[in-house]
Amino acid sequence: MSALLLLAVSACSQGSTTKQPEAGSSQSAGPAHIKIAYQQWGPGVVMKNFLTGVKAEYESANPGSTVEILPIVASENDYYTKLQLMMRSPNTAPDVVYEDTFLINSDITAGYLRPLDDYIKNWDQWGQFEDTAKGAAKALDGKTYGIPDGTDTRALWYNKQLFAKAGLPADWQPKSWDDVLTAARTIKEKVPGVIPMNVYSGKPMGEASAMQGFEMLLYGTKDTLYNNDQQKWVVGSQGFKDALNFVKTVYSEGLGPSPKQALDPNMGSKVGTELLPGGKLAIALDGSWIYGNWQKTGAKPWPQWTDVLGQTAMPTQDGSGKGKVSLSGGWTWAIPAKSKNPDAAWNLIKTLQTQKNAAKYATDGAQIAVRKDVANDAGYKSSSKSTQFFTDLVSVTVYRPAYAEYPKVSNEIITAMEAVMTGQSSPDDAAKTYDEAVEGIVGKDKTTQGQ
């Protein structure tokens, strides 16, 4: 979800015409057929258009080579599953894949990805990448398995027109969870017919539920998912229960979408293309990238969004700590271990990540830039009124514990959320079930009690 600014730098100096072998690689000269796989999510076409442009650029610079774009039409979790199935066999493995950073360690453990260090050491553009972005693409074995194309932060989006109808301030700055819930209750009472607040929850929304929903709550408490000092997973925490109680409040009081709406795997797409633009949702706990839907290049062009919507930080539970919280993730371009054309795949990744192309995707895809030269570009910084707001949240942001066990732990979080939101379980019982499941996943000796 990033964008490009046309910068006056020659394609040659950016490495888009890279037919020479990399030192230390086994690249053979000659044309190659390269397959690149990505998630096609909802009606958005930013990535499709971006890859189509890169394909033309690469094929022009490398006569005889062809790039095949493989869109995987699926919800987030289904995309991960389908991609992993493809990477299992040389017959189906793409050459370049769009890899979420939180999956890198688990996919390495499964033998799906190829380390890129021998390529990177000869790439003069690696120094342009921020250290935090490099770290997100590095695995526990110390090797780098992906080239990041952007990062993100999360906060509260709110409709200032609906707030005005409810008598709420245009410059809304909640200081606690209670402030957020009070605003949602006011919307419900005074502006009927709209969804007061959306917090992603349940299995169909996958990692969006775990990260944009639950972890944005949990990391606003005194607890975390993982204790870095002890290198153990946290169980038995009050913060976990409190986060589930927030979810329960939203859904039991009718402050969120109906369970049927919330459990629609297309809910994320609907928030960005229907509910927010249509004035049907007052508050959305969501990501920095969502405004990409409303740009000229987006799925739902909406020029008025900068006047209609406001953004404010998600507060911590009681305003303590840093007072606000954000979660960050990011995606990378990676090469499967069973790619038949790894050297050509690397050259394609270099084309994807020229300064010009990185800027284009950061802008069109509403990404927070991870290249220094893009982040400092005046055109990128002025591309949206919200760019600076979401970039500033990096100072308080938290990253998921992207260890090999995390995807399984995340699934248990989502299960607990769904049990609570549908009324099948109390927050305490769902938390207990989660604790037992985590002990089963990582081993009891790898767990520690929360605060």
For residue 30, what pLDDT is reported? Answer: 65
Same-domain pairing of 393 and 406: no
Same-domain pairing of 386 and 345: yes
Within a domain: residue 145?
yes
pLDDT one-digit tens code per residue, 372-408? 999 888 888 888 788 889 988 988 999 898 888 999 9
Report how far residue 299's alpha carbon sits from residue 285's, in angstroms, rounded to the nearest whole number: 20
pLDDT one-digit tens code per residue, 239-297? 999 999 999 999 999 999 999 999 999 999 999 999 999 999 999 999 999 998 998 88
Same-domain pairing of 167 and 235: yes
- How many domains are contained in the chain? 2
Task: Name the residue range of residue 439's domain.
Answer: 154-327+400-449
Helix (H, G, I), strand (E, B) or coil at 156: strand
Same-domain pairing of 231 and 262: yes
Same-domain pairing of 75 and 220: no
Buried b (16+ CB within 10 A) or exposed e, 9-41: eeeeebbbbbeeebeeeebeeeebebbbbbbbb
Within a domain: residue 19?
no
CATH code assigned at 275: 3.40.190.10
Distances (CA, A) of 438 to 191, 241, 278, 416: 41, 15, 40, 12
Same-domain pairing of 284 and 359: no
Within a domain: residue 23?
no
pTM: 0.83
Same-domain pairing of 59 and 99: yes
> Which residues have C-beta within 8 Å of that of residue 189, sequence separation ≥ 6?
166
Residue that the structure tokens 């199935």 belong to: 85
Structure tokens at 352: 């994807």
Pairing of strands 96-100, 314-315: unpaired
Domain stop point among 360, 377, 399? 399
Q: 288 with 155: CB under 8 angstroms?
A: yes
Helix (H, G, I), strand (E, B) or coil at 168: coil
pLDDT one-digit tens code per residue, 65-77? 999 999 998 877 7
Helix (H, G, I), strand (E, B) or coil at 354: coil
Same-domain pairing of 115 and 206: no
Give how far the C-alpha of residue 44 lies from the chain's centroid of Cα atoms, to the nearest Å. 15
The residue among 330, 315, 307 whose CA lies nearest residue 135 is 330
Same-domain pairing of 343 and 289: no
pLDDT one-digit tens code per residue, 306-333? 999 999 999 999 999 999 999 998 899 9
Same-domain pairing of 122 and 161: no
Q: Which residues pair with 447 in a beta bridge?
A: 233
Same-domain pairing of 420 and 393: no
Q: CA-based angle 127:120:99, to the nearest 5?
A: 100
Within a domain: residue 11?
no
Same-domain pairing of 342 and 311: no
Structure tokens at 85: 């199935």
